[in-house]
Structure 1
Amino acid sequence: MYSPLETQKESLVKKYIRILLVVSAYWIISITTVFVNKELFDGKHVKLNATLFVTWFQCIVSSTICVVTTFLSHKFPRVVPLNMPQAHPFKAETIKNVIPLSILFTTMIATNNLCLRYVSVAFYYVGRSLTTIFNVLLSYIFLRERQSAKSIICCIVIIAGFLLGVDQESLTETFSLIGTIFGVIGSLALSMFSIYTKKTLPHVNGEVWLLSYYNNVYSIFLFLPLIVISGEVNTVMNYEHIGEMWFWGTMLIGGICGFLIGYATSLQIKVTSPLTHNISGTAKACFQTVLATSWFNEAKSFLWWLSNIVVLLGSFAYARVKQVEMAMRHRETSSIQKH
């Protein structure tokens, strides 16, 4: 017989093992997705100059996986015990409530992928590092949330690291101004998407996966005019490998990765916390940068590396400051409730 203390220790060990496995899965899936997408957008083997088309196809794959999973979960609940909610993406009320968020979702993934197409994988994190800054600005504009002096200092550090990174990257052959601009727009879109997600979730009964499914379905239609306007239709029609199985296999892998990263992100937040997820994402970005420079044999200057370190330290510091502030608010609220 196990004592209560031993049982508690065993439970904690299982909990930490689960967290370790989920975080590891998130790292592996996220890094794999970035490298696979880089090959699809700007690779030496695929050579398809149609980023929006590839992103559109990934939305189709994600939507299809959601539909199949929902069907299986209801048809074979013992085999697929996910209890997926029924979706009604073409109801007028659903479209009205979700389409503004889906427009932001389409903008976010399009600009993020266009950023990845034009910049190197190593610079990708720095190019999109202003998300925290936009979160702070938009939270103040829309929610009137004021930031502490420590939080503002952390934001200044992140901005300094970003500017230094852009300056140093501009000295390399891989620098792309348009890619950096897409990264900034992607950071802004991600921040706005996060805020509007909170407003939209009540319309889908708080079901994150149902909202994700709707976003992917609506993005399929939202991407179509963008693909036509950008001229990617002719690019795809004249692509030399359009009928080859290896190409569609690679596209399918990219689509599956796109679906899995959404699942892994939600799962990591569920077993840890949003703050821990941000810290994990920042640490992952650091490892991804080191891995990319090694994989692509890129030699970087001391100041280039310093810019990455500054951005990472600023991001870590901001996460820690918010963690402490949230703990203080919780203690104050608990103290008020007791009295």
Structure 2
Amino acid sequence: MAEENFLRKSLKIALVVALYWFTSIAMVFFNKRLLNSDEIKLNAPIFVTFFQCFVAVILCQTIAFFAKFKRGSTFPTFKFDQKVSREVLPVSICFVSMITFNNLSLRDLGVPFYNVGRSLTTLFNVILSYFILKKTTSPLALVCCGIIMLGYMLGINIEGDLVNLSYIGCAYGAIASFFVSLNAIFTSRVLPAVENNLWKLGYYNNLNSCVLLLPALLLSNDLYTVYKFPDLANLYLWGAFILVGIFGFMTGFVSTWQIQVTTPLTHNISGTAKACAQTILAVGYYHTPKTALWWLSNMMVLAGSFFYTVVRRNQMKHDHDEKVQFEREKQKSGLRLNV
């Protein structure tokens, strides 16, 4: 019975991670197409971020409306609660910062080198998990994190030799990396405030994000850029906007789900490995030639991520077995007391 429960839990985690990889990679390519492709090239990252959050709010309300007509539906109704909104605010601040700097980094660095920011995510998460959550990481897991970091740093050095790097893009990536880690930690702490309901969290998070982004949107040049955009009436453009908004919501939903079924650190390790796979896909898609050392750096990241997953899986199984053993001992003690 215990083995069956563990297998079910492992399969669920594998499904969530696969969904996260699919939605997140698709999201990056869609954003790149909007922000810096030859077909569109719309230099309005804050507007794109705002529109993603706005579409997510509308999507939540639409699903909630139709769910009312389904008998026995457990989908939550969204009635604005100021107290819940206030409790979700730390996540929203991190979320807005994360996706804004991600989009800025993506605009300046491009997809093949987009993982530059992810090189710091694991390091930030280990540090923040220790200082905020008071959680330590096992020595073997730290070694795996070190391999990932070495792989990325090697890739960064090689990329710097091959092309002219945008240092502001690298800075955006580093800042985004910090907020990715902070977002994962705050998300795990805020979930009880929304009754562990991912739809509720998504609704309040995106609603807060729209409000937070309004001042930046009004102060920036993005609205004027969109207004003066020559293809503003193009249905393809607005279809792309809506598609990016839907995938943005899906990515946020699945990211939160991944944090819920694993840990913040595991979520970011998954993100690191995903970024590596995403880079390999981008090299093939954009036909960007890379050296053997560049490929070696990516293999180091994948190897570190794989062995980290093995270490964490063994640790999870050990903790699960200990919990089952404790429950058995507790039941035996209760039976002896009853006798």
TM-score, scaled to structure 1: 0.83
Q: Distance in 1 between matches of 2:188 and 2:16?
A: 24
> Following TM superposition, by how much is the alpha carbon of 1:141 offset from its aligned partner in structure 2, in angstroms?
0.4
Q: Which residue of 2 aligns with 1:186?
A: 176
Q: Distance in 1 between matches of 2:17 and 2:305?
A: 18
Q: Distance in 2 between matches of 1:196 and 1:19?
A: 20
> Following TM superposition, by how much is the alpha carbon of 1:268 offset from its aligned partner in structure 2, in angstroms?
7.0
Q: Which residue of 2 aligns with 1:88?
A: 79
Letter matched to residue 318 of structure 2? M
Q: Which residue of 2 aligns with 1:33?
A: 27
> Following TM superposition, by how much is the alpha carbon of 1:60 offset from its aligned partner in structure 2, in angstroms?
0.8
> Following TM superposition, by how much is the alpha carbon of 1:85 offset from its aligned partner in structure 2, in angstroms?
0.9
| 1:200-244 Cα deviation digits (max 9, x unpaired) | 111111111101111111111111222233322322222222232
Q: Distance in 1 between matches of 2:140 and 2:101?
A: 30
Letter matched to residue 157 of structure 1? I
Gap change, CA 1:281 and 1:143, over 3 Å in 2: closer
Q: Distance in 2 between matches of 1:328 and 1:174?
A: 48
Q: Which residue of 2 aligns with 1:154?
A: 144
> Following TM superposition, by how much is the alpha carbon of 1:136 offset from its aligned partner in structure 2, in angstroms?
1.1
Q: Secondary structure at the match of 1:248?
A: helix
Correspondence 1:77 to 2:70: yes
Gap change, CA 1:228 and 1:67, over 3 Å in 2: same
Correspondence 1:313 to 2:298: no
Picking from 102, 119, 122, the partner of 1:112 is 102
Q: Which residue of 2 aligns with 1:144?
A: 134
Gap change, CA 1:287 and 1:200, over 3 Å in 2: closer
Q: After TM superposition, list the pairs within 5 Å mapping 1:43-54 onto structure 2.
A: 43-54=37-48
Q: Which residue of 2 aligns with 1:63?
A: 57
> Following TM superposition, by how much is the alpha carbon of 1:283 offset from its aligned partner in structure 2, in angstroms?
5.5
Gap change, CA 1:267 and 1:82, over 3 Å in 2: farther
Q: Distance in 2 between matches of 1:71 and 1:247?
A: 27
Q: What is the identity percentage for the equivalent residue pairs of Structure 1 and Structure 2?
A: 42
Is contact 2:117-2:176 (8 Å) kept? no
My pick for the range that moved more, 219-228 or 207-216, is: 219-228
Letter matched to residue 85 of structure 1? P
RMSD: 3.0
Letter matched to residue 162 of structure 1? Y
Q: Distance in 2 between matches of 1:82 and 1:262?
A: 23
Is contact 2:50-2:213 (8 Å) kept? yes
Gap change, CA 1:130 and 1:19, over 3 Å in 2: closer
Gap change, CA 1:104 and 1:286, over 3 Å in 2: closer
Gap change, CA 1:85 and 1:322, over 3 Å in 2: same
Letter matched to residue 160 of structure 1? L
Gap change, CA 1:123 and 1:257, over 3 Å in 2: same
Q: Distance in 1 between matches of 2:18 and 2:181?
A: 25
Q: Which residue of 2 aligns with 1:101?
A: 91
Structure 1: stretches of 5+ with no match in the other structure: 1-7
| 1:289-320 Cα deviation digits (max 9, x unpaired) | 22211111101112222222222222222222
Q: Distance in 2 between matches of 1:66 and 1:72?
A: 10
Correspondence 1:231 to 2:225: no
Is contact 2:105-2:173 (8 Å) kept? yes
Letter matched to residue 74 of structure 2? N
Q: Secondary structure at the match of 2:112?
A: helix
Q: Distance in 2 between matches of 1:159 and 1:23?
A: 21
Is contact 2:64-2:75 (8 Å) kept? yes
Q: Distance in 2 between matches of 1:327 and 1:288?
A: 29
Q: Distance in 1 between matches of 2:299 and 2:258?
A: 24
Letter matched to residue 249 of structure 1? G
Gap change, CA 1:146 and 1:276, over 3 Å in 2: closer
TM-score, scaled to structure 2: 0.83
